[in-house]
Structure 1
Amino acid sequence: MPRLTIQDFLQDDSGAPILDARAPLEYAQGHIPGAVSFPLFSDEERARIGTMYKQVNPDKAVLLGLDLFGPKMSRMVQQAQKLAPGKQVRLHCWRGGMRSGAVQWLLELAGFQVQLLDKGYKEYRRWVLQEFERPRPLLVLGGLTGSGKTAVLHALSARQPVLDLEGLASHKGSAFGSIGQPSQPTQEQFENDLALQLAHMEAEKPVWVEDESRTIGSVHVPPPLFQQMQQAPLVLLEIPREVRVRKLAEEYGRQDAGALASSVLRIRKRLGGLATKEALAAIAEDDMEKMVSLVLDYYDKTYSHGLSGRPAVRVPSDTCDAAVNAELVLAAAQKNWPAAMLNG
């Protein structure tokens, strides 16, 4: 069958699974969202073949590859039958070369219809980076720590396109952001997931996104997208400090005290020695409101400094109820940017 462009490969609606023929370590570093690891060679085998290719000669490397491939053929066909009972698959390797070619030959021999990605995963990565360069209408939701911005975005998502950066990053953005979250993706996987989500959004509709710093835990927002966020209209949700303290204290009260203490220690240089000591003591005494109040002194000051000079539409609210605040935020956007919201 002819090779597919990256656009056709991703837009295929047949339900055919995507098989990734690269080695497991390559897959773990980053893969097309939803793809299944279907390695032709193990990490060790790939290294052996690569060494022989470079240090001996390419012909012997090919022969070694065939020796390693032969005993696996039956097992790979059986695995493919489990993954794709309808015998239709999409397939790729790193750059559409010998690995995907060998797997394609095997599966077609076994009666599968195989759609091969032209230029492989390397082409997907090129597409990912291009996706971040595309200009798109954004609306940024800001607010001090504890304002419930993520919950407001979730409430908005029922009616508006929303890009949940913290959800994709598995991190809430502060020194406490990893608590209760799964492990963060690699930077490459974060970009892969992010680009595909952006591509599924209609280009003319404004997309809501949370006001984030450049880094979210161990990953960073791609520079072209971050620049667009910095230049986009900002809606600033203003929640009273005491309401935010109660909300955060309730959330952190359900978390492990050791994890909270570790998070405080990560920002001890910025908190200062006395505030750090008092925050750790508050955790030990299960006084979450005191701990939160001490930490908010730092975060509120830092966030407010970052906002200085940036125009914003301010939306005051005396509650952290996400549904209520979503209505307020949406009304503010419709009032201030009616043309953009009309497209949405």
Structure 2
Amino acid sequence: MLETADLATLAGYDAVIDARSPAEFAEDHAPGAINLPVLSNEERAEVGTIYVQQDRFLARKIGAAYIARNVAHHLQTALADQPGSFRPLIYCWRGGQRSNAMATILAQVGWRTAVLAGGYKTWRRHVSARLYDQTLPFRLVLLDGYTGTAKTEVLQRLAARGQQVIDLEGLAAHRGSLFGAIPGQPQPSQKLFESRLLVALEGLDPARPVIVEAESSKVGERMVPPALWDVMTAAPRLELSASPEARARYLVRAYGDMVEDRAALDDALRRLPTWPGRKRLEAWGRLADAGDFEALALELMTLHYDPAYLRSSRKDARPSLGVLDLGALEPADLDAAADEIVRRVGALGA
């Protein structure tokens, strides 16, 4: 019986098997886990209903039949090629009947099988302790700047240059603005976002600076956990800058999916925090109809995003590392900016 669920301990097994239903797995799971459910979503609901509303013995008997059949299927498919030395770790919700039932069968095969005591909840307690209760040991540098200054692309270039980065937008599957939803890619649950974040943090060297985009406390609908937010609020920031015209051109390129989906664009415009008014919405609609998305982006920046950033930056007490001009925001400009940031971050010292 395994008592802990830190990443190093989990990595000591040949496979981490999540025996919960697919719906439970989709909400969150231990990193690297594979989902081999002993009960499907429908079977779990059926057994639970019988347990509560009819008869507990009947529920256990029906559940046992489902579990035996499902584990047999996994043995014939996902686990069919595993050698005799295979060492799996199994967990369910609380380390109870589902994981123990599967572990009993796998142990009878001859595999050295372990069960995570407390199940998924043990992993979740580990995540919560690290991201809510403890202090993170990292020195952050924030990439700040007006909307449209290619902060995410610069961050990706820094990662390619060997810099330590945290891509919050990538982890949260959201581009961090009202228009930031990614088509066909829903945001992970808050718990799964935090699991992904902890894995990213565990891979960093506390002795080296870590670069992160200066997000708000939420990325789309996902909250930045307190331990990271506390470090971000005290971190020095490097501001990226470009002309409004260059930023408008860049936004049209970066948000091509929004440009092509008129319904999504209209919906986003109607959800602006400050109601723009019917006449302005109609004017923006005419710009979209004419295909003049650069003019539309320029108006949105001028009337909404730039004033909001200016208000926020005036109250920002975090130390500044200066301003870096990104020119026309073409690929060569972003490469040059990334090289300069590497130099400046390196000058901060270890």
Report TM bin, short chain. Answer: 0.7 to 0.9
**Could you report, residue by residue, the CA deviation over 1:29-86 in whole angstroms, capped at 9, with x for unpaired residues?**
2112332221111233333444455556755544443233333342132134247467
Match of 1:290 in 2: 295
CA distance in 2, matches of 1:124, 1:179: 28
Match of 2:189 in 1: 186
Q: Which amino acid aligns with 1:78?
A: Q
Deviation at 1:193, TM superposition (A): 0.9
CA distance in 2, matches of 1:47, 1:8: 31
CA distance in 1, matches of 2:66, 2:183: 43
Match of 1:299 in 2: 305
Q: TM-score, normalised by structure 1?
A: 0.88
Deviation at 1:126, TM superposition (A): 0.8
Report if the CA contact (8 A) 1:27-1:37 is conserved: yes
Q: Which amino acid aligns with 1:66?
A: A
**Match 1:217 to one of 217, 220, 223:** 220
Sequence identity of aligned pairs in percent?
32
**Could you report, residue by residue, the CA deviation over 1:232-270 in whole angstroms, capped at 9, with x for unpaired residues?**
111111222221112112334564141323322221744
CA distance in 1, matches of 2:91, 2:81: 15
Give the secondary-structure state (helix, strand or coil) at the position aligned to 2:238.
strand
1:262-341 counterparts in 2 under 5 A?
262-267=267-272, 269-297=274-302, 298-310=304-316, 311-317=319-325, 318-320=327-329, 321-335=333-347, 338=348
Deviation at 1:142, TM superposition (A): 0.6
Report if the CA contact (8 A) 1:17-1:84 is conserved: no
Give the secondary-structure state (helix, strand or coil) at the position aligned to 2:6.
helix
Report if the CA contact (8 A) 1:162-1:208 is conserved: yes
1:11-22 counterparts in 2 under 5 A?
11-12=10-11, 16-22=14-20
RMSD (Å), alpha carbons: 2.5
Match of 1:139 in 2: 141
Report if the CA contact (8 A) 1:139-1:207 is conserved: yes
Give the secondary-structure state (helix, strand or coil) at the position aligned to 1:96.
coil
1:65-84 counterparts in 2 under 5 A?
65-82=63-80, 84=82
Note if 1:149 corresponds to 2:155.
no
CA distance in 2, matches of 1:260, 1:55: 47
Report if the CA contact (8 A) 1:128-1:196 is conserved: no
Report if the CA contact (8 A) 2:164-2:204 is conserved: yes
Q: Which amino acid aligns with 1:153?
A: L
Report if the CA contact (8 A) 1:168-1:194 is conserved: yes
Give the secondary-structure state (helix, strand or coil) at the position aligned to 2:79.
helix
| 1:251/1:196 CA distance change after superposition, 3 Å | closer
Q: Which amino acid aligns with 1:69?
A: I
CA distance in 2, matches of 1:253, 1:74: 47
Which sits farther off after the overlay, 71-80 or 93-102?
71-80
Q: TM-score, normalised by structure 2?
A: 0.86
Report if the CA contact (8 A) 1:19-1:35 is conserved: yes
CA distance in 1, matches of 2:184, 2:52: 43
**Could you report, residue by residue, the CA deviation over 1:279-313 in whole angstroms, capped at 9, with x for unpaired residues?**
22111110011111011121111112111132422
CA distance in 2, matches of 1:115, 1:275: 63
Report if the CA contact (8 A) 2:19-2:36 is conserved: yes
Unpaired stretches in structure 2, ≥5 consecutive residues: none
| Matched residue count | 336
CA distance in 1, matches of 2:80, 2:242: 52
Give the secondary-structure state (helix, strand or coil) at the position aligned to 1:113.
coil
Match of 2:101 in 1: 102
CA distance in 1, matches of 2:344, 2:278: 41
Which sits farther off after the overlay, 33-42 or 142-151?
33-42
Report if the CA contact (8 A) 1:260-1:283 is conserved: no
CA distance in 2, matches of 1:78, 1:252: 46
CA distance in 2, matches of 1:292, 1:215: 23
Give the secondary-structure state (helix, strand or coil) at the position aligned to 1:172.
coil
Which sits farther off after the overlay, 120-129 or 43-52?
43-52
Report if the CA contact (8 A) 1:4-1:115 is conserved: no
Deviation at 1:177, TM superposition (A): 0.6
Match of 1:245 in 2: 248
CA distance in 1, matches of 2:175, 2:184: 8
Match of 1:23 in 2: 21
Deviation at 1:162, TM superposition (A): 0.5
Report if the CA contact (8 A) 2:15-2:88 is conserved: yes
| 1:55/1:250 CA distance change after superposition, 3 Å | closer
Q: Which amino acid aligns with 2:251?
A: L
Report if the CA contact (8 A) 2:19-2:91 is conserved: yes
CA distance in 2, matches of 1:256, 1:284: 11
